[in-house]
Amino acid sequence: MQKRRIGEVEVSAIGLGGMPISVQGRPDRTQAIETINAAIDAGVTFIDTADAYSLDDTDFGHNEELIAEGLRGRSEEVFVATKGGHTRVPGGGWELDGRPEYLRKAVDG
């Protein structure tokens, strides 16, 4: 698999985007974990996630928690990128919040 550099880190040119395993139409938890591990087994070393990848505001953080569970025991094999500044609202809508205090909360989370 081809590689790319992110700063000092070399990662696979093809990564795994975590969003589909946490939003509407998502697979069950077991299938999502199997997907993460199948990607790593296939040579993927870059995973993209965000705290807002969830159904709505009631399971905010779902994707980051799922990725962490899927990487248990394998975290040294993968570079994980996460984003902040997007939020979810009741009913599943998206909003932006780029305030420094919100971004700090996202980093701490």
Tell me: the pLDDT tens digits for 17-26? Answer: 999 999 999 9
Give the mean pLDDT of 8-12. Answer: 95
- Lay out the sheet containing 79-83: strands in order across: 16-17, 46-50, 79-83
Predicted structure pTM score? 0.87
Q: Which domain holds residue 42?
A: 3-108
Q: How many domains does the chain have?
A: 1
3-state class of 24 per DSSP?
coil
53 a catalytic residue: yes
**Cβ partners under 8 Å of residue 10, min gap 6:** 3, 4, 45
CATH code assigned at 43: 3.20.20.100
Q: Which of 33, 50, 53, 66 is catalytic?
A: 53
High-pLDDT (> 90) share of the chain, %: 78
